[in-house]
Amino acid sequence: MEGFTQVGYLGRLRLFSRNARLYLLHVIGMDLIHGAWEVLFNLYLLAVGFDVRFVGIRIAVLGIAGSLASIPAGRLADRIDRKWGFIIGDGGGAACALVLIMSEKAEMILAFSAVSACFSALHHVTESPFMAENSEPEERIHLFSVEQGLATLAAMAGALIAGFLPGHLMSTEGMTLVDAYRWAVHIGIAWWFLSLIPAVMLRRHVSEEVARARSEVVKKEHEGWMSAIRTPKTVYRFVVIGALLSLGGGFVLRLANVFFHYDLHAHEHEIGMVFAAGSFFLAIGAFAVPLVVERVGEVATIVWTRFAAIPFILLIGYAPELAAPETVVSLAGLAWVLRTTLFNMSGPAFEAFSMGQLHPTERATYIGISHLFGSAMAAVGGYLGAVLMYNGDFRTPFVVMAVLYAVSTALFMRWFEGTPGLSDPSSLQESVL
């Protein structure tokens, strides 16, 4: 018990392995472009002449391609060194982004969006298992939290670049809006490629937990893509919870910049500031997650942060009904920041909890299955949300999102209430006794 009380927040951070620290450096560069991309690419598509329906079609293509690639990516990630998942996934994604931001033909944009989604699937199914394998149970929540905190700070920087740089380039260099969008994205992509350097420096690592788990199943090899699943009931529950969130989020999240631009008449710099503020406070929330988990546990942290975010989802959508034109962006922006901070605080806790409940040899395969259904649901939600917004209905997507988030959170509470997480105070105390 003495060891448990002496190792505090900063002590956990100092225990991070070399691989974990290199991965955190990789995350900073990788998410810089993600922040810029979320602000600009849909606006770029509108600027070159596409309508909101095409944005919805592209979102659907992303979801379908990511869904189809998820299971093969999960199986591949279970067989190769995790760092090659980062390098292949992120390097391919950066190359696709370069093509996309220079394209104006619908066929090219949809084709490379599909290819990009496949690379993204490989990265996605590699990330959480890597962090789980490079951390001990008592420090895992800290690693997940710091990773999300640094990722969101990088995304904040990218959003600020995307929000202000196009206007600066147009006024000082005389660029067109489309060219300004392209230059802003190119800067972010340069950092994306630089982020591959620490990924290349990662060393192959097999933790004692993973080695022991693999030795347990080496004599029980079965054929088939489901052979890695050891706890099907738990996997099923996590997949259902994630699929409902993806369907609800699909109606809004990839279309948020369209909502702010069309319904609230916000300019690029205002959208960039809103997204950047959301990232900044999310980072603070992510860094604070271990402190919350130490007090109330992983499950309670997940449930109450997700429920608390739901009213702000509705407030974003109904801001035009509640505020004057001169203040509507501020109200919706504040609600966006609060929703982003509260809901995404559950992310590190959920990742740590799910990785702790799953057998080490099934983690990447579970994420592949989860990504399959999640991407498919996000594709459906994204297309339907775009159709609704194209027809002038900007309220229904937020209502659907709020309802599905509530259902997903209620199911999580029903299925896992009372289940201890490995980062819960009681579990940590037991681990040192």
Question: What digits encode the pLDDT tens for the residues 98-112?
Answer: 899 898 999 999 999
Across all residues in the chain, what is the average pLDDT?
81
Dihedral of CA atoms 24, 25, 28, 30 in degrees, nearest 10, equals: -100
Query: Is 135 within the bounds of a domain?
Result: yes
Residue 182 has pLDDT above 80, yes or no: yes
Confidence (pLDDT) at 4: 41
Let me know if residue 151 belongs to a domain: yes
The backbone torsions φ and ψ at residue 320, rounded to the nearest 5 degrees and listed phi first, read -65, -25
Q: Is it the case that residue 430 has pLDDT exceeding 70?
A: no
Do the domain assignments include residue 211?
Answer: no
Task: Pick the more confident residue, 6 or 21.
Answer: 21
pLDDT recorded at residue 407: 97
Residue 360 has pLDDT above 80, yes or no: no
Distance between CA atoms of residues 113 and 101, nearest Å? 11
- Grade residue 362 by pLDDT with cuts at 50, 70 and 90: confident
Task: Note the pLDDT tens digit of each residue in 306-330.
Answer: 999 999 999 999 999 888 888 888 9
The number of domains in the chain is: 1
pLDDT band at 228, cuts 50/70/90?
low
Q: Tell me, what's the pLDDT at 336?
A: 93
264, pLDDT greater than 60: yes
- Tell me the one-letter amino acid at 321: E
Q: What is the mean pLDDT of the segment spanning 227-234? A: 77
Tell me the C-alpha distance between 192 and 315, whole Å. 34
Choose between 219 and 278: higher pLDDT.
278
Give residue 3's pLDDT band: very low, low, confident or very high (50, 70, 90). Answer: very low
Q: Where does 218-297 have alpha helices with state H?
A: 232-250, 256-258, 268-296
**Does 216 fall in a domain?**
no
Residue 217 parent element (H or E)? helix 208-217
DSSP output for 370-414:
HHHHHHHHHHHHHHHHHHHHHTT--SHHHHHHHHHHHHHHHHHHH
433 pLDDT band, cuts 50/70/90, is very low
**217 is a domain residue:** no
Q: Are 259 and 392 in contact (CB under 8 A)?
A: no
Q: Which domain holds residue 300?
A: 2-204+230-432
Between 223 and 89, the more confident residue is 89
- At residue 243, the pLDDT reads 94
What mean pLDDT is predicted for residues 77-102? Answer: 81
> Is residue 244, in this structure, part of any structural domain at all?
yes
CATH number of domain containing 276: 1.20.1250.20
pLDDT surpassing 80 at residue 148:
no
Please give the Cα distance from 342 to 304 (Å, whole number): 9
The percent of residues in the chain predicted with pLDDT above 70, rounded, is: 83
Q: Across residues 339-353, what is the average pLDDT?
A: 86
pLDDT over 90 (residue 224): no
In a domain, 196, yes or no: yes
pLDDT tens-place string over residues 36-49: 787 788 888 988 88
Instruction: Tell whether 213 is covered by a domain.
Output: no
pLDDT, mean of residues 225-239: 79
